Structures are given as structure tokens and as C-alpha cells.
């Protein structure tokens, strides 16, 4: 079984109330192998919600208490993101999950990139950072192509 960012499966949980359905994931990973999770909803944030950004650094810096996550209204929502990341990690432990497919460019789930000041920058989101620190293998949504699926069986 794998953990999958819920928005990739077509669940309307993104900050804007939409989703980013990933047809390759949907068509290649058996449904019984996917456990959809939205860390931001798990943390208690509503959908829709104001967009957010990691102020400086990455999710690793949030876990170390060196930065915060601020929404577009200027509110510090770091605790919601921390709570959601911890809940996602607990889910992986409860289900014995060792792999997570995460939505790239998210302040929660970004594996290689996040967004800051409307620009894509290198960095990892807070949930991805916490999962990685616990030994969970991360797969970026950008990596999951038909060719990738042909060569990797990441859901077993």
C-alpha cells in the first residue's frame, strides 16, 4: 500500500477547492493500494483556504523550528501544517506504508520543489520532510509518467 496526496486522486482538497488529478497514477496504481491523504485537511485547515508559503528555507527548517508557514492573509498556520504532517506519518506507521507519492510544489507535499513568492524554488514540503526523515520513500508526482510506471512497481 502507498500513501498518495489526495488531490492527485481527484479529491477536491487543494487550497483553491480543486484537485490536480493525475491520470497516470489513477490508471496504473490499483485502487486497493492507494491511501489518499491531505495533510492540510488532517491538520485542521478548511477547503478552500488561503494559499500558503514556507517563509524561508524548507519543510526541514519548519521541523527544526527555524521558519514558519504564512498564508496570503498574513496568518501563521505552521501548527496546522505540523499537525497534518504528524498525522500523515502516523497513518504510514499504522498501515505499514513505506512509499508516498506526493504532490510536487506543495508546502506540505513538495518533494523537490515548493512555491515561494509565485516562483518555483528547490525545497521539500513539511510533510514530505517528516516522512523522509522517518524512512518513507518519496515519489514526486512529477516523476510518475507512463515510462516510470513501466519500470517501477512502487505500490507493492
78-116 per-position pLDDT tens digit: 999 999 999 999 999 999 999 999 999 999 999 999 999
| Helix/strand/coil for 112 | coil
Domain boundaries, the chain: 2-151
> Three-state SS string across 143-155, please?
CCCHHHHHHCCCC
Grid cell 498556520 is found at: 77
Return the higher-pLDDT residue of 32 and 139: 139
| Cα 112 from Cα 140, distance rounded (Å) | 7
Dihedral sign for Cα atoms in the order 100, 102, 106, 112: positive
pLDDT at position 155: 61
Q: Where are the alpha helices (DSSP H) in 35-110?
A: 39-42, 59-63, 78-95
pTM for this structure? Answer: 0.95
Q: How confident is the model at residue 156 (pLDDT cuts 50, 70, 90)?
A: low
Q: Are 104 and 22 in contact (CB under 8 A)?
A: no
Q: pLDDT tens digit string along 18-47? A: 999 999 988 888 888 899 999 999 999 999
Amino acid at each position: 500500500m502507498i500513501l498518495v496526496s489526495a488531490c492527485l486522486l481527484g479529491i477536491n482538497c487543494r487550497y483553491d477547492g480543486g484537485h490536480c488529478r493525475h491520470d497516470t497514477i489513477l490508471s496504473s496504481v490499483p485502487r486497493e493500494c492507494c491511501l489518499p491523504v491531505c495533510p492540510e485537511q488532517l491538520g485542521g485547515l478548511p477547503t478552500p483556504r488561503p494559499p500558503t508559503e514556507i517563509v524561508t528555507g524548507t519543510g526541514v527548517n519548519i521541523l527544526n523550528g527555524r521558519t514558519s508557514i504564512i498564508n496570503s492573509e498574513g496568518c501563521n498556520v505552521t501548527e496546522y501544517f505540523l499537525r497534518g504532517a504528524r498525522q500523515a506519518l502516523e497513518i504510514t506507521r499504522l498501515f505499514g506504508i513505506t512509499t508516498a507519492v506526493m504532490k510536487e510544489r506543495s508546502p506540505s507535499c513538495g518533494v523537490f520543489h515548493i512555491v515561494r513568492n509565485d516562483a518555483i524554488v528547490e525545497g521539500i514540503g513539511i510533510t514530505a520532510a517528516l516522512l523522509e526523515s522517518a524512512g518513507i520513500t518519496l515519489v514526486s508526482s512529477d516523476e510518475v509518467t507512463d515510462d516510470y510506471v513501466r519500470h517501477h512497481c512502487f505500490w507493492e
